[in-house]
Amino acid sequence: MEVGFIGLGAMGQHMAKNLAAAGHVVKAYNRTRSRAEALVSDGVQVMDSAEQACASDVVITLLSDDAAVEAVVFGEGGFIEAMRPETVHVCMSTISVALGERLAAAHTAAGRAYVSAPVFGRPDAAAAAKLFIVAAGDAGAIAHCQPAFDAMGQKTFVVGDEPRIANLYKIGGNFLIACMIESLSEVFALVQKYGVDPVDYLELLTNTVFPAPVYRNYGGMIARQAFEPAGFKLPLGLKDVRLALAAADAESVPLPVGSVVRDHLVSAMAKGYAELDWSVLGWIALENAGLK
């Protein structure tokens, strides 16, 4: 099928490559054109505008935040109007529940199909086509997109017919990862204060009560203070925690741990760590404990 792809960041470049490798015609657009041109040798076609990419069977947007998605979809170019009647827009960005609702309403009003399908996985998972895709929307629209999902991920979870629910799943998942990073950072600071090597401590944790890969991966980064190159930059982590707090505020749900994590992420930003991985919370914990 023809797949328009808008947004070729650390994740998008790998996903577009995998779509092309699976035999799909990939029509890519990126504001920084060189990112799209770098994929020509992988069989990706370079488009001059987002609207050109929309003339496809499926058009995927994978952009950094709400503002970037709004600029593309609701900007002057006429994104929705450029879609073919049969085109499905798949937003794979991590965006707010509120924007998920607005996008669904706008597409419905225009008679176009819309699916929210954010992903779980870091760039290495994207490169290996091992992402987990969380999709919500019309069942027929999701089925239409499944060949593209299969080329990018190892499993697709369909979580309902309301697109915003997929956004909620992703926000909740990233919130839990942020809380885990904060907790590991605090505990590693604690054991270091007592002279325990955090790498040794992590080895025990991940071979007993916390064997999940997410603990091994992030725990290893924190224990070794290996915060670059960033798989998920600090500002994106702060954005996602703020999305969780906003979703909670809309329904009067307190997230007290979330407030602590947000404040520590803000501290990390203030200290100039914006280019580092969000697991740099490990440094904040060490600083607060007088260890750095």
Domain locations along the chain:
2-161, 168-288
Is 0.85 surpassed by the pTM of this model? yes
CA angle 280, 286, 292 (to 5 degrees): 100
Work out the average pLDDT over 46-51: 96
Percent of the chain with pLDDT over 70: 100
Q: Grade residue 192 by pLDDT with cuts at 50, 70 and 90.
A: very high
Cα–Cα distance, 52 to 82 (Å, whole number) = 8
pLDDT beyond 90 at 276: yes
Cβ contact 47:28 at 8 Å: yes
Amino acid 102: pLDDT: 98
Percentage of the residues of the chain whose pLDDT score is greater than 90? 99
Domain 2-161 has CATH 3.40.50.970: no
Read off the pLDDT band of 88 (50, 70, 90): very high
Report CA torsion sign: 162, 164, 165, 170: positive
Spatial contact of 6 and 63, defined as CB atoms under 8 Å apart: yes
* pLDDT score recorded for residue 76: 85
Q: What is the mean pLDDT of the chain?
A: 97
Annotation: CATH topology of 168-288? N-(1-d-carboxylethyl)-l-norvaline Dehydrogenase; domain 2 (1.10.1040)
Q: What are the residue numbers of the active site?
A: 170
Rounded to an integer, what distance in angstroms lies between the CA atom of residue 219 and that of residue 202?
A: 7
**Distance separating alpha carbons of residues 174 and 244, to the nearest angstrom:** 9
Give the model's pLDDT for residue 259: 97
